[in-house]
Amino acid sequence: DISNGSSESCTFKMPEIKFTKLFINGEFVDATSGKSFETIDPRNGEVITRVAEGDKEDIDLAVKAAREAFDHGPWPRMSGYARGRIMMKFADLIEEHVEELAALDSIDAGKLFTMGKILDIPGASHCLRYYAGAADKIHGQTLKMSRAMQGYTLREPIGVVGHIIPWNYPTTMFFLKVAPALAAGCTMVVKPAEQTPLSALFYAHLSKLAGVPDGVLNVVNGFGETAGAAVASHMDIDKISFTGSAEVGRLIMQAAATSNLKPVSLELGGKSPLIIFDDADVEVAAELALQGCMFNKGEICVASTRILVQEGIYEEVAKKLTEKAKSWVVGDPFDPRVQQGPQVDKKQFERVLSYIRKGKEEGAELLVGGEAHGEQGYYICPTIFSDVKDDMQIAKDEIFGPVMSLMKFKTIDEAIKRANATKYGLAAGIVTKNLDIANTVSRSIRAGSIWINCYFGFDDDAPFGGYKMSGFGREHGLDGLYMYTQVKSVVTPIYNSPW
């Protein structure tokens, strides 16, 4: 009963769009070319506003500012404690603007306003505080040298970083990369996704208010093939951190290799399994499976898109999932009753629908959904296919939408083998009360995160990243901080030492 895109159900006044330019060297500036691009509201396909379109020239200016701030500015030279205090202030400022920021991500990306308020935006300040607390605890080691020498390591900031971020979590991804890089003492250029440029600019503004020095954090909006590619191939960027598709990850790694051999970290796609064993509570398992797959309209790299269910409870789980999907509320992301907003844009909407068509053609049984929702906007009904075979396209490709594949298995060995039968390895879930099964499967799955009797077990302290073609490098935790540092050995001989 919720009409798509209607403002009747909105509980929040549209945010005023305050920042639409590029943020370079502490100032909001127009693009050198004077160009701008539209950002679209996925609830109705209407233009929200125009945003400055950064290109190679603007990336060059931003890198120049970041280089100057790194080579001569205070940020890498001040104490970690002092950096941490500024980051804490940044976190405080975010908390003063939670509703406004959540609303920006909702109109830009179709994300649930309520989730933005309780998860994405508070998560950003939490992430900043986590790394702020680590900023003065970045230690090297004292080395046990084999000769009469003293040796120790210094863990130094890696330099100027390029962050290329996706549109599904505009806020979370921004801070997952920016917070540890700031703590390490790096300076940076952020290239947000062209679909979701708005909140990043607000964060740039808040960083300045918090006291982050000019040039340390630059934000250049623009398209992937132009602005993004300029970041990847830049000769004066020391590291790239990228989250997005495997195809683009490959291009970025190539560009890094053929330019200055800068290291890259890649967080790419997934086709994550959730394995439900016969002893599981059906209600709990079905809820985990549904949330795991449909949360954030399936636009989440760790989505549990392959639900493997042991044969003893397969029918029950399928029935329960179908019931739940039928009462899952799709509609305006500002309505607090709604559980799923629109896909981010027309291209993704059409891509997801084409996979749904493919699933039907391939002969998977459609239990529920299978079509667009409503007349207006990019809404898709939560869709569940049953009896999906491992070699079907819908079982292999990352769909990035609310589309679930249900699969039946008999034994633990079969479950492990099929869970691993993917080119990806980002996450996996296990639902069982049996500790031996949980431990065995955890160790056997080739994926970076294993969630037992839960899903989305994210935490600022839990390293997160991919095996196989889901990428490499870890974000969150101290591993996430160390990606923005490099280790230097310092050695000196000790003459005439009895030791």
Catalytically annotated residues? 267
The number of C-alpha atoms within 13 Å of 27 and in the hemisphere containing its C-beta is 7
Among 38, 46, 95, 225, binds ligand ADP (CB under 6 A): 225
Q: Where does residue 133 rank: exposed (0-12), middle (13-18), buried (19+ CB within 10 A)?
A: middle
390 binds ligand ADP per the rule CB under 6 A: no
Which of 229/288 has CB closer to ligand ADP? 229
Which residue stretch of 94-102, 240-248, 284-292, 467-475 sits at the interface with ligand ADP (rule: CB under 6 A)? 240-248
Q: Which residues contact 425 (CB under 8 A, 6 or more apart)?
A: 270, 445, 446, 447, 448, 466, 467, 468, 469, 470
The per-residue b/e assignment along 169-194, b for 16 or more CB within 10 angstroms, e otherwise, is bbbbbbbbbbbbbbbbbbbbbbbbbb
Q: Where does residue 82 rank: exposed (0-12), middle (13-18), buried (19+ CB within 10 A)?
A: middle
The per-residue b/e assignment along 465-488, b for 16 or more CB within 10 angstroms, e otherwise, is bbbbbbbbbbbbbbebbbbbbbee
Which residue stretch of 8-16, 45-53, 227-235, 285-293 sits at the interface with ligand ADP (rule: CB under 6 A)? 227-235
Report the nearest approach of ligand ADP to the CB of residue 459 (Å).
24
Q: Which residues contact 11 (CB under 8 A, 6 or more apart)?
A: 113, 334, 335, 336
Among 244, 382, 429, 465, binds ligand ADP (CB under 6 A): 244
Among 41, 108, 194, 238, binds ligand ADP (CB under 6 A): 194
Integer-rounded Cα radius of gyration of the chain:
24
For residue 422, report the phi and psi dihedrals to the nearest 5 degrees.
-150, 155
DSSP SS3 for 154: strand
108 binds ligand ADP per the rule CB under 6 A: no
Count of residues that bind ligand ADP according to CB under 6 A: 17
Which of 84/401 has CB closer to ligand ADP? 401
Distance, in Å, from the CA atom of 133 to the CA atom of 196, rounded to the nearest integer, reads 29
Report the nearest approach of ligand ADP to the CB of residue 220 (Å).
11
What residues from 195 to 224 belong to the interface with ligand ADP (CB under 6 A)? 223-224
Chain-centre distance of CA 423, in angstroms?
19
What residues from 135 to 154 belong to the interface with ligand ADP (CB under 6 A)? none
Report the nearest approach of ligand ADP to the CB of residue 196 (Å).
9
Report the nearest approach of ligand ADP to the CB of residue 228 (Å).
2
Report the nearest approach of ligand ADP to the CB of residue 401 (Å).
11
Q: Is 274:429 a contact under the CB 8 Å cutoff?
A: yes
Residue nearest to ligand ADP (CB): 224
Distance, in Å, from the CA atom of 80 to the CA atom of 484, rounded to the nearest integer, reads 14
What residues from 157 to 186 belong to the interface with ligand ADP (CB under 6 A)? 164-166
Which residue stretch of 20-28, 47-55, 77-85, 243-251 sits at the interface with ligand ADP (rule: CB under 6 A)? 243-251
Among 87, 182, 229, 302, binds ligand ADP (CB under 6 A): 229
477 binds ligand ADP per the rule CB under 6 A: no
Report the nearest approach of ligand ADP to the CB of residue 363 (Å).
28
Q: Is 343:370 a contact under the CB 8 Å cutoff?
A: no
Report the nearest approach of ligand ADP to the CB of residue 191 (Å).
6
Among 232, 302, 307, 407, binds ligand ADP (CB under 6 A): 232
252 binds ligand ADP per the rule CB under 6 A: yes
Q: Is 280:248 a contact under the CB 8 Å cutoff?
A: no
248 binds ligand ADP per the rule CB under 6 A: yes
Residues that bind ligand ADP (CB under 6 A): 164-166, 191, 193-194, 223-225, 228-229, 232, 244-245, 248, 251-252
